[in-house]
């Protein structure tokens, strides 16, 4: 009988989570029906959240579920439903224009090269650092302490975006 | 009696280790056992809850309610369950089959996940997560996707309208829901639900945070799609909303998930505002059950007393009343904490 160690269990969980994330991401690109693509995006987001949880960054994981999987995906699905005027089965077909293929290919190659370079050239710490117990408190101190101006500026930026969206939707009344 | 279940868990782990399993695998199996127990309790509890709701609604409408099968009709739900299990499973030919079939499963899985963090007693929870409250809120937000899947997959006007309504409602009410819980988090200084229970050692948060309690109760009713906020179903106008095309066991899964959500939200309310498992004389796991059932009865009471609210009133109530009130409560709580520290009371 072979012995399982804690390490292999952690690895197996990571492989399963990573598999779901990558399958979801492939689904976003490959499904012909754009609703299916949007729903696969939910699984990708959930997979990323699970990776955060596994890395002991629970706060980030919960926020990832709340904001990306719970809100932004719903927004995307809503937008798709409201804008869709064709048959659902043929809404996400691969493009036939060569220019688009060229642009997409260039971006993919560039991103792949930078990721491979980043993974290959960086020095990884040899010992696993002990995860922080109270990551929420530390995040709060950083956000409302050292980086409070950037944090508030982002909040104002979002407020401006919301006002802009309302003006775009409702129009400006001429007096 | 107090340590009955925790002792059982320790004994089970010890027994598995003596059988030659490594402690890690013993923990994994213990986790699975906990999940199986929770799912069993949920399923059995719902049989009681549905019977109870029918009896309570009958009481409010001066009827008798189920009264033929067994004493006080207690076997009525079991008969209903058998009927639902044996019904023909109809998938509409125009429906998107994959999404139509996945939606109820997704809904029930998300509902069951809520029980991960709720403390069922002293030292009794599936995982003692240090961001438990946030996890609960974020998991609850996922059920919108399941409803949207059901509404879109059915390829039915009423279903889609019900799904769009319910998603708009749930996203709007999520904001006051999360904000109302922030006051409690500010006082207890933790997102861990066991810490929040421990912080209510002297005084329950319902007394310190009455505004937050009311806001949370209203927002939770809307999140659960229960009356008077049951716009998404609205049998009389939308013929059942997102569930219109569902039959048999698939429909029953939605029904099951709604009651699962109800119990989870009531248990969270008992934990956060009503002192959780703390209480005199009785063991802690009995206290949380008593308090949860108390909150559930209030939910029943509200549902069968108030008429349904119009959709636009519902949305403007959330954005124009509940959000400002819950934000004001956060301000008030912060000021209160500073005043308390300034006076040297805490």
CATH number of A29's domain: 1.20.120.1200
Q: What is the ipTM of this complex?
A: 0.82
What pLDDT, on the 0 to 100 scale, is given for residue B232? 67
Q: Are residues B50 and B144 part of one domain?
A: no
CB contact under 8 A, B134 and A73: no
Output A123 or A103, whichever has higher pLDDT: A103
Which residue among B86, B112, B128 closes a domain? Answer: B86
Output A48 or B202, whichever has higher pLDDT: A48
Q: Are residues A20 and A89 part of one domain?
A: yes
Q: Are residues A87 and A42 part of one domain?
A: yes
For residue A110 the two structure tokens come to 């560039």
What pLDDT, on the 0 to 100 scale, is given for residue B324? 93
What pLDDT, on the 0 to 100 scale, is given for residue A47? 93
Q: Are residues A144 and A70 part of one domain?
A: no
Selecting from B24, B96, B171 the residue whose C-beta is nearest the C-beta of A74 gives: B171
Q: Are residues B147 and B57 part of one domain?
A: no
The B residues from 95 to 134 touching A (CB cutoff 8 Å) are 96, 98-99, 129-131, 134
Q: Evaluate whether residue A105 is within a structural domain.
A: no
Q: Evaluate whether residue A152 is within a structural domain.
A: yes
Q: Evaluate whether residue A112 is within a structural domain.
A: no
B86-92, Cβ contacts within 8 angstroms, sequence gap of 24 or more: B87/B247, B87/B248, B87/B249, B88/B247, B88/B248, B89/B247, B89/B248, B89/B249, B89/B250, B90/B245, B90/B247, B90/B248, B92/B154, B92/B155, B92/B156, B92/B245
Residues from chain B that touch A82, judged by Cβ atoms under 8 A, are none
Which residue among A49, A75, A95 closes a domain? Answer: A95
Q: Are residues B51 and B134 part of one domain?
A: no
Task: Give the pLDDT confidence of B210-223 residue by residue, as tens digits.
Answer: 999 999 999 999 88
3-state secondary structure of B124: strand
Confidence at A132, pLDDT banded by 50, 70, 90: low
Q: Are residues B17 and B131 part of one domain?
A: no
What pLDDT, on the 0 to 100 scale, is given for residue A125? 67
Q: Evaluate whether residue A109 is within a structural domain.
A: no
Q: Evaluate whether residue A107 is within a structural domain.
A: no
Q: Evaluate whether residue A25 is within a structural domain.
A: yes
Q: Evaluate whether residue A113 is within a structural domain.
A: no
Percent of chain A surpassing pLDDT 70? 85
CB contact under 8 A, B22 and A59: no
What pLDDT, on the 0 to 100 scale, is given for residue B189? 85
Residues from chain B that touch A39, judged by Cβ atoms under 8 A, are 99, 145, 149
CB contact under 8 A, A74 and B167: yes
Q: Are residues B283 and B315 part of one domain?
A: yes
Pick from A37-41, A73-77, A171-175, B289-293: least confident? A171-175
Q: Are residues B265 and B303 part of one domain?
A: yes
Q: Evaluate whether residue A89 is within a structural domain.
A: yes
Q: Are residues B175 and B34 part of one domain?
A: no
Confidence at A100, pLDDT banded by 50, 70, 90: confident
Residue in A closest to B28 by C-alpha: A9
Total number of domains constituting chain B: 2
State the Cα angle at A79 between A73 and A82, rounded to 5°.
Answer: 140
Residue A2: pLDDT over 50: no
Selecting from B134, B149, B164 the residue whose C-beta is nearest the C-beta of A62 gives: B134
Selecting from B130, B131, B145 the residue whose C-beta is nearest the C-beta of A73 gives: B145
Total number of domains constituting chain A: 2
The whole domain housing A153 covers: 132-175
Which residue among B44, B59, B86 closes a domain? Answer: B86
The whole domain housing B61 covers: 1-86
CB contact under 8 A, B22 and A3: yes
Q: Are residues A69 and A18 part of one domain?
A: yes
Confidence at A157, pLDDT banded by 50, 70, 90: very high
Cα of A58 to nearest chain B Cα, Å: 7
Q: Are residues B276 and B150 part of one domain?
A: yes
Residues from chain B that touch A133, judged by Cβ atoms under 8 A, are 130
Q: Which residues of chain B have pLDDT under 50?
A: none
B-interface mutation test, from A9, A65, A79, most B Cβ less than 10 A away:
A65
CB contact under 8 A, A62 and B96: no
**Mean pLDDT value across residues A153-163:** 93
Tokens 């006080």 sit at which residue? B72
What pLDDT, on the 0 to 100 scale, is given for residue A1? 37
Q: Are residues A83 and A11 part of one domain?
A: yes
What pLDDT, on the 0 to 100 scale, is given for residue B89? 84
Q: Are residues B69 and B210 part of one domain?
A: no
Q: How distant, in Å, are the alpha carbons of A5, B9, B28, B65, B237 from that of B20?
A: 13, 17, 14, 54, 61
**Mean pLDDT value across residues A81-106:** 77
What pLDDT, on the 0 to 100 scale, is given for residue A131? 59
**Mean pLDDT value across residues A45-60:** 88
CB contact under 8 A, B145 and A6: no
For residue A79 the two structure tokens come to 């937008």
Which residue among B50, B68, B86 closes a domain? Answer: B86
Global pTM value: 0.87
Q: Are residues B270 and B197 part of one domain?
A: yes
């Amino acid at each position: 009988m072979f012995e399982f160690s804690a390490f292999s269990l952690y690895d197996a969980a990571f492989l399963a989570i990573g598999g779901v994330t990558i399958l979801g991401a492939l689904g976003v690109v490959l499904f012909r029906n754009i609703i299916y693509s949007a729903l696969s995006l939910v699984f990708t987001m959930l997979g990323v959240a699970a990776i955060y949880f596994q890395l002991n960054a629970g706060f980030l994981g919960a926020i990832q579920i709340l904001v990306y999987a719970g809100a932004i995906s719903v927004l995307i699905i809503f937008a798709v439903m409201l804008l869709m005027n064709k048959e659902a089965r043929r809404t996400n077909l691969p493009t036939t224009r060569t220019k688009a293929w060229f642009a997409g290919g260039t971006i993919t190659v560039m991103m792949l090269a930078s990721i491979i370079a980043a993974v290959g050239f960086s020095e990884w710490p040899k010992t696993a650092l002990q995860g922080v117990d109270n990551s929420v408190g530390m995040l709060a101190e950083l956000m409302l302490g050292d980086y409070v101006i950037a944090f508030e500026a982002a909040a104002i930026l979002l407020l401006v975006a919301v006002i802009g969206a309302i003006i775009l939707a409702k129009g400006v009344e001429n007096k | 009696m107090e340590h009955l279940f925790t002792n059982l868990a320790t004994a089970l782990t010890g027994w598995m280790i003596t059988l030659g399993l490594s402690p890690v695998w013993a923990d994994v199996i213990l986790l699975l056992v906990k999940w199986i127990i929770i799912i069993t309790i949920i399923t059995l509890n719902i049989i009681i809850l549905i019977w109870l709701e029918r009896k309570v609604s009958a009481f409010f409408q001066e009827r008798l309610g189920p009264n033929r099968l067994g004493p006080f009709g207690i076997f009525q739900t079991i008969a209903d369950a058998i009927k639902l299990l044996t019904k023909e499973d109809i998938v509409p030919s125009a429906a998107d089959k994959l999404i139509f079939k996945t939606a109820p499963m997704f809904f029930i899985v998300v509902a069951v996940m809520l029980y991960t963090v709720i403390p069922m007693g002293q030292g009794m929870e599936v995982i003692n997560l240090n961001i438990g409250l946030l996890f609960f809120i974020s998991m609850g937000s996922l059920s919108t996707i399941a409803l949207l899947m059901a509404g879109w997959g059915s390829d039915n006007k009423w279903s889609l309208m019900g799904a769009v309504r319910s998603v708009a409602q749930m996203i709007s009410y999520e904001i006051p829901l999360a904000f109302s819980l922030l006051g409690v988090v500010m006082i207890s200084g933790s997102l861990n639900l066991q810490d929040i229970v421990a912080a209510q050692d002297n005084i329950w948060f319902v007394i310190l945070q009455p505004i937050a309690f009311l806001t949370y109760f209203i927002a939770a009713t809307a999140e659960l799609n229960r009356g008077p906020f049951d716009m998404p179903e609205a049998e009389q106008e939308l013929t059942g909303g997102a569930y219109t095309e569902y039959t048999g066991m698939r429909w029953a899964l939605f029904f099951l998930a709604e009651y699962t959500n109800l119990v989870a939200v009531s248990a969270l309310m008992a934990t956060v505002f009503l002192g959780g498992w703390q209480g005199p004389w009785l063991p802690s796991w009995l206290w949380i059950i008593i308090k949860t059932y108390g909150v559930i009865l209030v939910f029943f009471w509200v549902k069968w007393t108030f008429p349904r609210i119009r959709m636009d009133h519902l949305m403007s109530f959330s954005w124009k009343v509940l959000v400002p009130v819950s934000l004001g409560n956060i301000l008030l709580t912060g000021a209160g904490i500073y005043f308390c520290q300034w006076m040297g009371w805490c």
